[in-house]
Amino acid sequence: MTKEMTGAEMVIQALADQGVQHLFGYPGGAVLPIYDALFTQERVRHILVRHEQGAAHAAEGYARSTGKVGCVLVTSGPGATNAVTGLTDALMDSIPIVCITGQVPTHLIGNDAFQECDTVGITRPCTKHNYLVKRIEDLPRILHEAFHIASTGRPGPVVVDIPKDIQFAKGAYFKPKDFPHTGYKPRVKGEMEAIKHAIALMANAKKPVFYTGGGIINSGNAASDLLRELVKLTGFPITSTLMGLGAYPSADPQWLGMLGMHGTLEANMAMHDCDVMVCIGARFDDRITGRLDAFSPHSKKIHIDIDPSSINKNVKVDLPIIGDCAHVLEDMVRLWRTQALRADAKALEAWWAQISKWRARKSLAYRPSNEVIKPQYAIQRLYELTKDKDVYITTEVGQHQMWAAQFYGFNEPNRWMTSGGLGTMGYGLPASVGVQLAHPGSLVIDIAGEASVLMTMQELSTAVQYRLPIKIFILNNSYMGMVRQWQELLHGGRYSESYSAALPDFVKLAEAMHAHGIRCEKPGDLDHAIKEMIDVDKPVLFDCVVDPMENCFPMIPSGRAHNEMLLGDAAMSLEEAITEEGKMLV
């Protein structure tokens, strides 16, 4: 069924047809026709952000917490360039986004017109795909194809650049049933022979480990359920990347904690010493592997990924399986059951005994204090006081992000929104705006650093405008903490430009922006303050003043392998750990 309408109306119609309820955007000259079309309808709700980067991050938070495609609408030139950070972030973390950008009229393209930029040129390397629409006849297909490409295969951001004359032009709107692209056909089913081989390897493993990532979350809830089933069936230990937290419950005894640069000792040691590694929806990123030539030297590596280019990119694997995590996991669970396979119980027992020794080192331990709030303690209290609620966590980037990953327990997928690949400071606040819109009744907390949060602080105004009671929990250590930590450890303690001088009074800032401000400086006041934060039905800026010199441990120092981790001084030495364990045996 086709219908005559303008290009601008087609945009809104296509969004509505795709089930889009929220659109994050900022108007400008080259998108005015689309804003005009928005004005006369009620199907799509527009959320006015304060900066286009915020729109993209809000859409990311929305997408990550719902599994749907996040939508952005920005103008040409600076509107598009401001969105680039969010698009790159979405590309690195495989988040489905459709970003519609206005463009100068077709006849002015290339003339250096007002607010013109080469949007498709600029966004080509930071999108999964992009389009410049030059004919109104192409617009309906391109709009729907954008959603198809963003959400299928390995998800990612797609830009549709629409010149202003195309927005005014009239044409026939239709919703295509399928897409003739012969070049784009993501593979979802894994090759059965390879899956059988993988199952056989797993059944014979003596020291196996599951290493999972954000691909499980992207694959949907079914993938998380199947993963839990497979982990229970096999009895293997499981660790996950930063992006994969929540796919497997952190409360479960088979959970080793996060792996990688700031992962737990037991997770990294298990990765190093394992004989069979089952990597599902992760990509052997450099934060995970440490020194490549010493990465898990004695293991057979199985790698399940929907993107063939992830295979053998950093680490050579023995058994690649191209397919969607949920499909492959379903086949694995079925095969394991129908073949009535059993893991090697005796070998596993020895393997778990070894893992408990590593666990007994308590690699996340820190020195508690009654005087100053330790950042780890703050996260622990936040977790204890919110864990029974319907809670979603976003973060900025830095030490606070790692402490959140280490000390906040995630038991469900889609509850943890963080910038993993790109490491974008300023992600968390706008992301929490998107999350709160998608989950109006839930508790949404942005665990932040005082430096990160200032990068996109203006989005607090968005939260106030739409009555989104997000909680911004700032671990304020007056430093760009991760930068300071590296300067301490690697650059002789020369804290070059990493001190946050002239910080605002966050309480007054909150009040000036019609939000609620809380400041807490003493460990004894923390619980009460957190409860206040939860109870206030408004956006809250929580200034939690923490120990400025605390470092994030454990860590894999640069150029080192997984078994060469640096532990904090509160962790148990090998001898202590042994006696500690001895005590527990008694």
Partner 1 sequence: MNAPTISHYPSAPAAQKIETHTLSVLVDNEPGVLARVIGLFSGRGYNIESLTVSETEHQAHLSLVTIVTTGTPMVIEQIKNQLDRLVPVHRVVDMTLAGSCIERELAMVKVRGKGEHRVEALRLADAFRARVIDATIESFVFEITGASDKIEQFIALMLPLGLVEVARTGIAAIRRGPDAL
Q: Which listed residue (5, 13, 92, 164) is catalytic?
A: 164
Say if residues 146 and 131 touch (Cβ distance below 8 Å): yes
Residue identified by tokens 């894994």 is 190
Burial class of 306 by CB neighbour count within 10 A (0 to 12, 13 to 18, 19+): buried
**For residues 38 and 117, which CB has a smaller minimum distance to partner 1 in the complex?**
117
Report d(CA 305, CA 154) in Å as an integer: 9
Q: Which listed residue (3, 41, 114, 549) is catalytic?
A: 114
CB of 496 to partner 1, least distance (A): 14
115 is catalytic: yes
* DSSP codes, 67-78: SS-EEEEE-STH
Report d(CA 272, CA 351) in Å as an integer: 13
**For residues 175 and 291, which CB has a smaller minimum distance to partner 1 in the complex?**
291
Q: In three state form, how does the secondary structure of 382-441 look?
A: HHHHHCCCCEEEEECCCHHHHHHHHHCCCCCCCCEECCCCCCCCCCHHHHHHHHHHHCCC
CB of 91 to partner 1, least distance (A): 12
CB of 551 to partner 1, least distance (A): 14
**For residues 187 and 228, which CB has a smaller minimum distance to partner 1 in the complex?**
187
Say if residues 295 and 315 touch (Cβ distance below 8 Å): yes
**For residues 440 and 557, which CB has a smaller minimum distance to partner 1 in the complex?**
557
Q: Which listed residue (21, 115, 354, 465) is catalytic?
A: 115
114 is catalytic: yes
Strands (E), 14-79: 22-25, 45-48, 70-74
CB of 185 to partner 1, least distance (A): 10
Report d(CA 159, CA 62) in Å as an integer: 17
**For residues 322 and 444, which CB has a smaller minimum distance to partner 1 in the complex?**
322
**For residues 360 and 556, which CB has a smaller minimum distance to partner 1 in the complex?**
556
Task: Please state the length of the chain.
Answer: 586
164 is catalytic: yes
**For residues 277 and 311, which CB has a smaller minimum distance to partner 1 in the complex?**
311
CA proximity to 247, closest of 223, 283, 268: 223
Q: Which listed residue (92, 243, 258, 482) is catalytic?
A: 482
Contacts with partner 1, residue ranges (CB under 8 A): 120-121, 124-125, 128-129, 132, 134, 149, 181-184, 261, 286, 289-293, 307-309, 311-313, 316, 486, 490-491, 557-560, 564
- State whether residue 567 is helix, strand or coil: coil
CB of 557 to partner 1, least distance (A): 5
Residue 341 region, left (φ>0) first, then alpha (ψ -120 to 50), else beta? beta
CB of 294 to partner 1, least distance (A): 8
For residue 585, the one-letter residue type is L
CB of 487 to partner 1, least distance (A): 11
**What are residue 517's DSSP bridge partners?**
541
CB of 331 to partner 1, least distance (A): 23
Q: What are phi and psi of 425, to 5 degrees?
A: -60, 140
Distance in Å from the first CA to the final CA of the chain: 76
Report d(CA 376, CA 364) in Å as an integer: 9
**For residues 405 and 460, which CB has a smaller minimum distance to partner 1 in the complex?**
405
Say if residues 268 and 298 touch (Cβ distance below 8 Å): no
How far is residue 5 from each of residues 11, 27, 171, 180, measured CA to CA in Å? Answer: 10, 21, 6, 24
Q: Which listed residue (9, 10, 52, 258) is catalytic?
A: 52
Q: Say how many C-beta atoms besides its own lie within 10 A of residue 129's C-beta.
A: 17
Say if residues 431 and 55 touch (Cβ distance below 8 Å): no
Question: Could you list the active site residues?
Answer: 52, 114-115, 164, 482
